[in-house]
Chain A
């Protein structure tokens, strides 16, 4: 099955015209390729210049001098602009067996399977998406893919794009800034509360455009939005470098929740920069689940710049054989009475490694700021490892800072208890592991939560990967 039903150019989901689909950049990265991307997308000159400036920064920046080794990453081994058609596995039969089996085990419907695996570009949620769009438009909410937003709302995008995470922030932010493609753009007007979570799931290209996604969310004063992206089912990707940038602007009294669950196949480097700028009495909540990839480095951060701004990071990480999950959070308290809470839970098994890496910074003048960090690790066997790297930089005396860290194993007593009720050993382990992450799983949208529990269950019973 090689034929894909491609959407027409006028398709509402922000797909590009047919000639763009046929386009494929050369392997490797150069100024010419960056120019070419801007040309192919017919971007305004300000975006073209932004890409080129970012490319210069990328070339000058060195790799991070901390964290897990990236020495095997060779930038010239990748394509930097692939249209969906090339990044898909193309046929169901060609998908790796373990991924197909996992889809069956977690009970994903046939249509959805093909969508997730990249076999089908069409997805039945089209109808749902259109009705969601209609409601949003009435309220003045903009929810588009980033490419379309650049063309349709150039002033709005230009005003905020790259302001929270400038290209010079780090090498991977610079890389993303020069070659980004896809991602979401959301603008929520003053006082508007979006009741249902907006899901990238409903944008049919979400699964394929994930390589250098660029997402920008602006929540105007007093508004609320919950954005959910990714999925718990393993996403098979032939591109082994993924480097997204997510910028969120939370204006006075607004609240944004951003939920991500990633389960990239275990050949993927997932190096993501996520940051929120939070103004007076605004609230930012990052809910982050990392299950897949070979190496993930992700530290959702919040700059609490207005009085009483609040930030929260809830994260779960699972590392199995050959996986490193280096995840954490960053809270920078700039204004007074700001609060941050970071709760991180990780499970490692079969030689996997999890790390919590976090920074809490209270700048001089951030009076009465409060921060609480809790990180709990569950280590299943002696092959696996978990580390904690908390950094605190407190320049203000009036603040308060709590930090708790626990490392535990599944206790023999708990296993005996469950098995003495007739539950088999593997299932008992998975119940204990799911129980361990339950406080965070319950914050996820229901379908994510259900699938995540099943997936952890499968991992723990050794029937996956």
Chain B
């Protein structure tokens, strides 16, 4: 049985600049609880992806303010330390790493996060998750994201979340470029992840994916600020009237 005790991830009074000095997020405060499913929405350039990168501790951004996981300030922790504490980011356009296979990466990551596991048990677990996401076994032996199709990339990102079982998984536009079948598979995987106790945060433009995943809380960002908070009905309003109509 998964541990159902919920975790919290929060930011308060967070300001984020690019390393070149351009301010993207202004005084943002948000709270996430791992027992709920969140959607972070907003028009292009509203700072959604930056928010994800700031959670992950990307050196591309300079952030000021508090970032807390279960009440502990993680602001000064490195990216890898944050990942080991249970923060996961699924990238919008993940980078290819030639010569590093999906299996190799995931096994190394799994051991870094959870400690040693026999190769046999690990492979059994990995293959089971891959099968459910309809990922071809051969893909696991290839260099990660190297020549993968758009759909394969998204599924491989999701697969990593399922294997690593983080406290919070942030999905940065996992729904873009997916056909209906792939979208359903991705939704299935995300729902499964949630059931296993991971807090799900979806960054998205559209309601497409959200019609397969029951969302509890919606945050709307515009120009680097939180402009609206609501429940799933807010998704529908955005779909009908756009962000301007809010």
Contact = CB atoms under 8 A, between A and B. Distances in A.
B104 A431 contact: yes
Interface stretch (A96-104, A248-256, A274-282, A409-417): A409-417
Best-buried of A423, A431, A436 by chain B (most CB within 10 Å): A423
A421 B109 contact: yes
B98 interface: yes
A422 interface: yes
Interface string B57-101: 011100000000000000000111011100011010011011110
B99 A419 contact: no
A416 B78 CA distance: 10
B198 interface: no
B108 interface: yes
Contact of A424 (B58, B59, B89, B112): B112
A437 to B, nearest CB: 7
Contacts of A439: 99
B91 to A, nearest CB: 7
B9 interface: no
Interface residues of A, number: 24
A36 to B, nearest CB: 51
B121 to A, nearest CB: 19
Interface string A389-423: 00000000000000000000001111011111111
Given A422-B164, A438-B99, A416 B109 contact: no
A419 B56 CA distance: 9
A416 B99 contact: no
Given A412-B60, A427-B108, A417 B160 contact: no
Looking at chain A's contact residues, is the secondary structure mostly helix, strand, loop, or mixed?
helix
Given A420-B56, A425-B78, A431 B83 contact: no
Nearest to A428: B80
Given A412-B59, A417-B91, A422 B97 contact: no
Contacts of B236: none
Interface in B100-148: 100, 104-106, 108-109, 112-113, 143
B109 A417 contact: no
A404 to B, nearest CB: 15
A98 to B, nearest CB: 26
Contact of B84 (A418, A422, A427): A422
Contacts of B99: 434-439
A419 B60 CA distance: 14
Nearest to A426: B80
B112 A421 contact: yes
16 contacts: A414-B95, A416-B56, A417-B95, A421-B88, A421-B106, A422-B84, A422-B109, A422-B112, A423-B108, A425-B78, A427-B108, A428-B80, A431-B108, A432-B97, A432-B100, A434-B99
Nearest 6 interchain pairs by C-beta: A435-B99, A438-B99, A421-B109, A422-B83, A419-B80, A422-B112
